Amino acid sequence: MKEEEVNRCQIQEWYPKFKSVSIKTRIHELPESFVQYLLDDSGPFLLPVSISNDDAFPNRIHNPEEEDDYQVSEGSGDESEQPSLPPSFPELELEIKESIESLGGSVFPKLNWSAPKDSAWISTTGSLRCSSFSEIAVLLRSSDSLVHDLCHAYDSCSDKTSSRPRSFFLALRKWYQSLKPEMEFRCFVRNQNLVGISQREVTTCYPALIEKKDSLKALIEDFFVDKLMSRFESENYTFDVCVTKDDRVKVVDFNPWGAFTLPLMFTWEELDQTHSEQGDGVNFRVVESQLSVRPGLKTAVPFDYLDTGAGSGWDQVIRNANEELQQQTRNAQAGA
């Protein structure tokens, strides 16, 4: 993998070319001071002071008596241990506020490559839906997955010259309540040929999705040929799409082939083999039963929950699930 392949997948690079077939988005270049704020883990977790007095947790129940418990009286304590002053980014906050309003009042954020899906649990809505700068700041600051963008974007590149891009960008994407997780798919392109399509949310079985599998496959294949095939410069890459209620396909994201990109219902070895065999058409996979769900690929949880290495909690869950599936298969065959 080359740095240029990774760079093409940054949203500020591909969105201008594909905006007509994507989700409405506003993109802001982040000041370096905000980038350093996201990286700083040397002190307490401090949210930026909001010049609009927006609350990062607007739906929480305020208890003034409990808040009084955390007030520090002036002149008390050791002067050397005075609490740090929270940061403030007034210009960025005003720009973001304007963009949120122009996008209908609700957005979901992402940086150059990644969205803070692992911090959705901390939101009062349990999702990435944000309506203020403060809500965006708490998601970004709480995310482990964004460390990839900030520090490790080029780790898999054979021609790596830097650990980070020259600039970071915040993309605010219009929030559509009508878009359903079962209608999101990851598509795999090898040597500019579409070789695989996977259900994006692989932790749940959606029976209705199984019924629409053939029609969805045709929609996505046509979209790839008509809108992407000759326009995205990389030979090997993945792209994510969503399908709307009226059967329109929208490109949501691009990612490099392999490396940090999850293959979801596939393995990278399978996808390489699918390409080398050819002739079998596009392999489209969805979760077809509760036994096929992949809980270890849930991304809307803290990073610690995602450890699938040998001996981890998820490793044991997956092993148990595989053993149970094999046992049920043997029982079914014995009774046939």
DSSP state string for 94-138: HHHHHHHHHTTS-EEEE-SS---GGGGGGSTTSSS-BSSHHHHHH
Q: What does the pLDDT read at residue 137?
A: 95
For a pLDDT cut of 90, what percent of the chain falls above it? 61
Q: What does the pLDDT read at residue 265?
A: 93
Residue 77 is which amino acid? G
What is this structure's pTM?
0.80
Name the token pair of 96: 């973001």
Please determine, for residue 45, whether its predicted confidence score (pLDDT) is greater than 70: yes
Q: If 0-12 CB within 10 Å is exposed, 13-18 middle and 19+ buried, where does residue 159 land?
A: exposed
CB 120 within 8 A of CB 302: no
Residue 265 is which amino acid? M
Please determine, for residue 309, whether its predicted confidence score (pLDDT) is greater than 70: no
Task: Report pLDDT digits (tens) over 233-292.
Answer: 999 999 999 999 999 999 999 999 998 899 999 999 999 887 655 556 899 999 998 777
Mean pLDDT of 188-216: 94
Please state, in angstroms and rounded to a whole number, the distance separating the CA atoms of residues 170 and 31: 10
CB 315 within 8 A of CB 308: yes
**pLDDT confidence tier of residue 72, bands split at 50, 70 and 90:** very low
Q: In 3D, which of 177, 218, 217, 168 has the Cα closest to residue 197?
A: 217
Specify the residue for token string 């790596």. 160
Q: Which residues contact 9 (CB under 8 A, 6 or more apart)?
A: 113, 234, 237, 253, 254, 255, 256
**According to DSSP H, which parts of the chain are helical?**
3-8, 11-18, 32-39, 64-68, 90-102, 133-142, 146-147, 207-211, 213-223, 268-277, 313-335
Specify the residue for token string 């009062």. 124
Task: Report pLDDT digits (tens) over 139-174.
Answer: 999 999 898 899 999 999 999 998 899 999 999 999
Please state, in angstroms and rounded to a whole number, the distance separating the CA atoms of residues 119 and 108: 12
